[in-house]
Amino acid sequence: MRCALSSKYAQGQLTVVDTADATQLEQAMQAHGWTLNDARTLILHGNGENISLDETVKEHASKLRARFNGAHQTSVYELLCHDHVVLTRQAVSELEHRYWCY
């Protein structure tokens, strides 16, 4: 998992946002120069995080061909199959706890 995330980061395909709302997704797109024609995006959220998929978030997700997934349910293969990965801060904390706490 560490290698997959490091690889995505090195290639400019990984970003961290505070929450997975429409504003944060749009800011991430603009900051990284992602266009609506870019391929698949994986948005990882925390287990206890309330992801309310209102119409604007659904619209952005469909334009990005994005898939929402819990950080605890994600595999390395799944990370590598997506062109862009967006993590919420809570997802980062969960991944750190799961993979890097000994």
Q: Is 79 helix (H, G, I), strand (E, B) or coil?
A: helix
33 conformational bin, left if phi > 0, alpha if psi -120 to 50, beta if neither: left
pLDDT tens, the chain, 102 aa long? 888 999 999 998 898 988 877 777 778 777 877 765 666 888 888 876 656 555 666 666 666 677 788 888 888 999 998 888 889 898 888 888 888 765
Run of H or E residues at 97: helix 89-100
Q: Nearest to residue 90, comparing CAs of 19, 2, 4?
A: 19
The CATH class for the domain spanning 2-100 reads alpha beta
Q: Where are the domains of the chain?
A: 2-100
Prediction pTM value: 0.78
Q: Helices 89-100 and 2-10: crossing angle, nearest 10°?
A: 140
